[in-house]
């Protein structure tokens, strides 16, 4: 029954280069019937959610889930279907990652870096966009520590990221 | 965009009397297109989720969201559409409540009592089933403290609970 | 090495009757070399911390630990030795309880009720003041649910509470 | 009243090179009357706590505080004075940082990286050991993002770290 989810993490500032990627990524994943998980705020989170909303409607199985730091269902961006206010501040970064089958990073500062670290620690497949401004460009093809044998995957554009995601899902049985 | 949610809280033990109510409540809410939020485990949580799943399909706007205490998307009952593993143990009770527009309690022990307390503290409309075994029967028509002017609402059966819920949603503008 | 701690929970409003009990309780426990854990805010939390501070100094082994809901070390009352800002809001109620060997409730509203529920769920010895305004008076000598075989202990004054606490510690081996 | 605290973060694996630094750092800070905050587990956390314990006794104002991921006061290393079990898993990394006036990183993998990110996001002074194996060596003299104007401080040995810490405390007024 469980619906497949991809977490999209990245800069909360409005950076056109990153937002363009995030919106296209959200759109493409929604077209595949995949639901989106974000931290519910602006920047990459808002753009990815907007992209997903542009495709899906109530007849699609794709929904946008926003895992919010505060206590109000209204604090997130306007593209959220399910608002999950956690009330635990940036500790909610752990929950963004845990609620995602796969995590994709698009740029990002300290918050995104903490999420990439959690994704690694919790053994989630992690894809980092390269060639952009922010932490995702520094982490592709690297191991965060030696507790995992694999590396962070790297994508240079949306199509490559979507192909990696579809490949991972096709190899899992859920 | 935000989809209406009702949180259903209650006993995690399998008690037929409570499960019957919870399953019927989940079913009726799903028929109204309302999504269900639970703590993702067994007992009332599992029964409510099962009831909702029996109605909705991918063409309905109703989904079942499970806010899980552990770190695995697989730890919840099998009727969950969106698994939100929080990794924060029973502190996730705060998130169950915050993610719900309205909270309904069906029986319940210490965990449910903490959720009723959070629902009150976070100013959520709270409906408690009476005439059943557990804390919900003790809390209807009472105020938990004097920080709110209203009282916990009381329902004696599923139809009454659904009517209260529809009435609350009809008065709100979201 | 671990220093014994007693959590003191209760009303965050300033109620003279409750504050008098809490301050005396904090003082008496500090005299016994026991450290105090509170939620770090006002009312019973502040009064208990003030009482403990009135006794202990750097030569005593007693300290006051404040488990704060916000992110600032400065947000608590002024009697805190160790400020633990959690940034997780009222979900910190779980941590107040988990950090205490024994929990004592003095009055209290919804927040205190959630802490009593957590104390029960996490199997902590729990003492509730009776004869005062608030939830502690309603819970003494009761079981919150049937997952524990014991009952919430009841104290009618500070001396009785201190004797119960000393008795519990004398029976444990830490 | 509030007692000064330094958080020591780093590898949870037992790496002699890192443990030697951590133990010496804990010892030197305890000699200065500063209390230690760690995540309460092994490796750098255990070594720093052991170092601090070797100096302080009940007549010193220094204590060791362990912010634990699980729910048991007994789960941490044996050098903890105050065990703070959070029950929130690695989300407790946020609390380790928030409970520290200054954070020092010694090596470290994904968990330490998340803590460095939180320290930056929550505006804490952050000192990273260089010349060691792990993330601390990669972060000294860098800015994690442009939300702060300063950089992560860098220390090449314990004495340099202690001097930076004393300097920071001497410039603050608490």
Instruction: Return the residue of A nearest to C86 by Cα.
Output: A88
Whole-number Å distance between alpha carbons of A89 and A65 = 17
Does the beta-carbon distance from C91 to A87 stay under 8 Å? yes
Interface test with B, best of A64, A79, A86 (most B CBs within 10 A): A86
Domains of chain B: 5-171 (3.40.50.450)
Q: Which two tokens stand for residue B104?
A: 């309904």
Q: Looking at the complex, does the CB of residue B168 fall below 8 Å from at least one CB of chain A? A: no
Q: Do A84 and B98 touch (CB under 8 A)?
A: yes
Residues in chain B, how many? 174
User: Looking at the partner chain, which of B93, B95, B113 has a beta carbon nearest the beta carbon of C144?
Assistant: B113
DSSP classification of residue A131: S
* Best mutation target, D67, D72, D84, D88, to test chain B (most B CBs within 10 A): D88
Residue C38 has pLDDT above 90, yes or no: yes
Using a CB–CB cutoff of 8 Å, tell me whether A89 touches chain D: yes
Give B-chain residues touching A173 at CB under 8 angstroms.
Answer: none
CB atoms within 10 A of CB A115: 29
**H/E run at residue B169:** helix B158-171
The distance from CA D51 to its chain's CA centroid, rounded to whole angstroms, is: 13
The neighbours of chain C, by the rule of 3 or more Cβ pairs under 8 Å, are A, B, D
Distance to chain B for A133, nearest Cα, Å: 30
| CA gyration radius, chain D | 14
B19 touches chain A (CB under 8 A): no
> Stretch D45-53: mean pLDDT, rounded?
97
Dihedral sign computed on CA atoms, order B70, B71, B77, B81: positive
B1 touching chain A per CB within 8 A: yes
The Cα B85–Cα B97 span in angstroms is 15
What's the order of all strands across the beta sheet hosting B5-10? B82-85, B64-68, B35-38, B5-10, B102-106, B126-129, B153-155
Handedness of CA B78, B84, B86, B92 (dihedral sign): negative
Close Cβ partners of C62 (under 8 Å, ≥ 6 residues apart): C29, C30, C32, C33, C34, C35, C36, C52, C55, C56
Cα-to-chain-centroid distance, residue C156: 16
pLDDT of D90 > 80? The answer is yes
φ, ψ (nearest 5 deg) of residue D65: -110, 125
Using CA atoms, how far apart are residues B89 and C131, in angstroms rounded to an integer? Answer: 33
Residues of chain B scoring pLDDT < 70? 56-59, 173-174
What per-residue confidence (pLDDT) applies to C1? 72
Report the C-alpha gap between B103 and B97 in whole angstroms.
7
Q: For A135, phi and psi rounded to 5 degrees? A: -65, -30
Closest in B91, B134, B147 to C94, CB measured: B91
Q: Which residues of C touch D124 (CB under 8 A)?
A: none
pLDDT, tens digit (0-9, with 9 covering 90-100), for C94-139: 999 999 999 999 999 999 999 999 999 999 999 999 999 999 999 9
Among B68, B88, B94, which would you mutate to test the D interface (most chain D Cβ atoms within 10 Å of its Cβ)? B88
Mutate to test the interface with B, among A68, A84, A124 (most CBs of B within 10 A): A84
Residues 49-88 of chain B whose Cβ lies under 8 A from any Cβ of chain D: 71, 87-88
Mean pLDDT score, C57-67: 82
User: CA-CA distance, D101 to D171, in Å (whole number)?
Assistant: 13
Name the residue among D9, D20, D90, D7 with its Cα closest to residue D50: D20
| 3-state SS assignment for residue D168 | helix
- b/e D140-166 (16+ beta carbons within 10 angstroms → b): beeebbeeeeeebbbbeebeebbebbe
Listed range (B147-156, D59-68, D82-91) with the worst mean pLDDT: D59-68
Hey, are the CB atoms on C146 and B109 less than 8 Å from each other? yes
Structure tokens at B86: 């929080």
Please give the pLDDT value at position D14: 97
Distance (Å, rounded) from C-alpha B169 to C-alpha C59?
A: 59
Which pLDDT score, from 0 to 100, does residue D172 have?
Answer: 84
Torsion of CA B74, A111, D140, D137, to 10 degrees: 10
CA distance B33 to C92: 34
d(CA A19, CA A12): 10
Distance CA C56, CA C33 (A): 8
- Identify the chains in contact with D, defined as 3+ C-beta pairs within 8 A: A, B, C
Give me the sheet containing D5-10, strands edge to edge. Answer: D82-85, D64-68, D35-38, D5-10, D102-106, D126-129, D153-155
pLDDT for D109: 98
B144 in contact with D at a CB cutoff of 8 Å? no
pLDDT score for B1: 72
CA nearest C35: which of C15, C7, C68? C7
ipTM above 0.90, yes or no: yes
At B113 the pLDDT is 98
CA–CA distance, A145 with D134 (Å, rounded to integer) = 8
Sole residue written with tokens 């104390």:
C119
Chain B closest CA to D9's CA: distance in Å?
A: 21
Split chain A (174 residues) into runs of 10 and give each run's mean pLDDT: 94 97 97 96 98 78 95 96 98 98 98 98 98 97 97 98 97 71
Shortest Cα–Cα distance, C56 to chain B (Å): 32
Of B129 and D174, the structure prediction assigns the larger pLDDT to B129
Q: So what's the pLDDT on residue B148? A: 97
> What was the pLDDT predicted at D61?
81
Q: Give pLDDT, residue A58.
A: 55
Distance from CA of B57 to the nearest CA of C (A): 34
**Count of pairs with CB atoms under 8 A, one residue in C, one in D:** 97
Q: How buried is C149 (Cβ within 10 angstroms: 0-12 exposed, 13-18 middle, 19+ buried)?
A: exposed
Return the H-helix or E-strand segment holding C136: helix C136-139
């Amino acid at each position: 029954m469980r619906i497949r989810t991809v977490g999209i993490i990245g800069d909360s500032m409005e950076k056109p280069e990153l937002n363009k990627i995030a919106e296209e990524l959200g759109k493409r994943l929604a077209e595949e019937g995949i639901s989106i998980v974000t931290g519910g705020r602006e920047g990459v989170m808002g753009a990815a959610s907007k992209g997903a909303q542009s495709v899906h409607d109530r007849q699609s199985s794709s929904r946008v889930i926003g895992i919010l730091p505060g206590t109000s269902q209204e604090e997130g961006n306007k593209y959220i279907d399910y608002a999950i206010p956690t009330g635990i501040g940036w500790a909610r970064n752990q929950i963004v990652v845990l609620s995602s089958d796969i995590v994709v990073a698009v740029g990002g500062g300290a918050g995104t870096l903490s999420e990439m670290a959690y994704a690694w620690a919790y053994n989630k497949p992690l894809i980092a966009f390269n060639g952009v401004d922010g932490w995702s460009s520094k982490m592709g093809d690297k191991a965060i520590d030696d507790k995992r044998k694999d590396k962070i995957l790297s994508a240079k554009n949306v199509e490559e990221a979507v192909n990696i995601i579809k490949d991972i899902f096709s190899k899992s049985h859920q």
